[in-house]
Homo-oligomer: A and B are copies of this chain.
Amino acid sequence: MNSIKIFSPATVANVSCGFDVLGFCLDSIGDEMIIHKTSEKGITITKIEGYDLPYEATKNVAGVSALAMYEALQPDCGFAIEIYKKIKPGSGIGSSSASAVGSIFGMNELLGKPLDKTALTKYALKGEAIASQSEHADNLAPAIFGGFTLVRSVNPVDVLQLPTPNDLFATLIHPQIEIKTSVSRAILPETVNLKSAITQWSNVGSLVHALHTNDYEVLSKSLNDVIIEPYRKQMIPHFATIKKAALESGALGCGISGSGPSIFALSKGKDTALGIEKAFQNMYSKTDIEFNTFVSKINTEGIKIL
């Protein structure tokens, strides 16, 4: 096998209460990439469609993660990468993670899978870092492992795979404004109230419990962010109205996807998820901001060969 086509999924990081540690994987949106083994050594990016991104490997997220893995493994070949970018950069659903993961997942397959998922996460972090100026894996881990993940640590990489209730769907709306991850990190406070922190870790604990027990009621109560959302919601036009619409349409919870501006809602069953999408569309079409929406089952497989 000298070429491989892969699907690198979009992801939702943080999941309300789990800032910097929780995430889940989507399946209805993701980048496509084709990776070719080449006789010439090194990493080259030969095609980019969809969005305007740098071809130079050292400046491209997919290139940087590929180079990190390439230098570590020192294979007897090179790789050419074609990127068909579907996830808009800066949308808040793991666009840079999908790029960072896609190249190295494909290379690993072409090399006969010398690396496990944890090692892949390690190299993907290098790509993620140039996009967000920090090594965080809350988008990378769900893209690589699938389903819900909890990142215990990035150095060393330590990821827990959490169970995914069967009937869980996500609805997303992406208001077409760009928020850079680095900026949305900068507005966060360095310290938080102990009382709020206790509420947050109670919610993280009960969210994990809810995923293990398929308890949608507890899941719903846990999807509550008292620490990050109060700061970041100010950057997203009509966030409060969208959240209200989601909850009134039966969402289990609704919050900022990653660092925004995308907003996610989780719900039990596809019908509810579609109803929430309609509510999002009704509400946002009254504004003058362009947007798009979609519904996705939680993707328990993660990144895959097409």
Name A residues whose Cβ lies closer than 8 Å to a Cβ of B.
17-22, 150-153, 158, 160, 162, 188-194, 197-198, 200-209, 212, 218, 221, 227
CB distance from A292 to the nearest CB of B (A): 31
14 contacts between A and B (CB under 8 A): A17-B201, A19-B201, A150-B205, A160-B205, A160-B209, A190-B194, A191-B193, A192-B194, A197-B200, A201-B201, A202-B204, A204-B204, A205-B208, A209-B212
User: How many copies of this chain sit in the oligomeric assembly?
Assistant: 2
Report B-chain residues with C-beta under 8 Å of the C-beta of A189. Answer: 194
A206 nearest CB across to chain B (Å): 5
Smallest distance from the beta carbon of A263 to chain B beta carbons, Å? 22
Check if B209 sits within 8 Å of A150, measured CB to CB: yes
| Nearest-CB residue, chain B, relative to A193 | B191
* 10 cross-chain pairs, A with B, having the tightest CB-CB distances, nearest first: A201-B201, A197-B197, A212-B212, A201-B204, A191-B191, A208-B208, A204-B205, A21-B202, A205-B208, A20-B198
Which residue in chain B gives the minimum CB-CB distance to A222? B152
Would you give the shortest CB distance from A200 to chain B, in whole angstroms?
A: 5
Which residues of the partner chain B approach A208 to less than 8 Å between Cβ atoms?
205-206, 208-209, 212
**How long is the Cα–Cα vector from A209 to B191 in the complex, in angstroms?**
27
